[in-house]
Amino acid sequence: MSYDFSLQSCDLNKLNSMTKYPSIPTYHMLGDKGSLLEETISFSGEVILTEKVDGTNSRIILLPDGNFVLGSREELLFAKGDLIGNPALGIVDALKGVANLLPLPQNGIVVAYLELYGGKVTAASKQYTAQQSVGWRLFDVAVFADVEILFTKSVQQLAAWRDNGGQVFLDEEQLHKVAKEYGFELTPRIATIAALPISIQEIHEFLKVTLPRTSVALDDGAQGRAEGIVARTMNRNAIAKLRFEDYERHAKRYSR
């Protein structure tokens, strides 16, 4: 017998906790005061490099009862049919029209994770636009099948489950398929490589050569600095971020 989900009667705190996007670790581990350590995230097999867009993490939570909920990284902001939504970061204004057009799951919960950028979203918005244009890119999709079981857990249990890799994300092939179905552009795929460089200095040079400018500028006046790269395996079993800021800070600290 399938679980009879209802947004009106579900625990929204639990829905929020189970669908939050987990933190992506840095490729080189962080040490004291932002320094980098030589220890890296281990990748097995081909590595997909995607641009890390500097915006705000946004969620479209698609529900089996015909509803959807919009959220930021930390909180739920709007549900289908609401007359008033939380205006935080411009997420609701940008995405509620889009969410209304998406196909809803027959069973379980599907969450599309997007980076909303430009406008006045972050201090880095000027890197992408001079006209306060707003854009968004899909970067991950998670599928929650055991909804009934998940709602029996406490918020604290859900947070621990999430932070220990409990969520199920689509692999690269599935992600491309869903992006096409939803009409979303993915975060740019830069390259697929056999392996990442290992040393901190090598990665810093690799970043500068591989991503000299952002590829998602929204208008000609954008300043164009990229935030960095997200590296992942095809099956998404390993994922890590490589940010210019981290490697520049490390280089500056050790050049004194």
Q: What is the pLDDT of residues 155-169, one digit of tens each?
A: 999 999 999 999 999
Q: What is the pLDDT of residues 52-107, one digit of tens each?
A: 999 999 999 999 999 999 999 999 999 999 988 999 889 999 999 999 999 999 88
Domain span including residue 66 = 12-254
**Alpha carbon distance 246, 53 (integer Å):** 15
| CB-based contact 107:66 (threshold 8 Å) | no
CB atoms within 10 A of CB 160: 13
**Is residue 2 a part of any domain in this protein?**
no
Instruction: Give the total number of structural domains in the chain.
Output: 1
Distances (CA, A) of 55 to 3, 26, 73, 106, 115: 35, 17, 11, 31, 6
For residue 142, what is the domain's CATH number? Answer: 3.30.470.30
**Mean model confidence pLDDT for the chain:** 95
Q: What is the pLDDT of residues 104-136, one digit of tens each?
A: 998 899 999 999 999 988 999 999 999 999 999
**Is residue 55 a part of any domain in this protein?**
yes
> Which among 117, 131, 128 is positioned nearest to 215, based on CA atoms?
128
**Is residue 176 a part of any domain in this protein?**
yes
**Is residue 1 a part of any domain in this protein?**
no
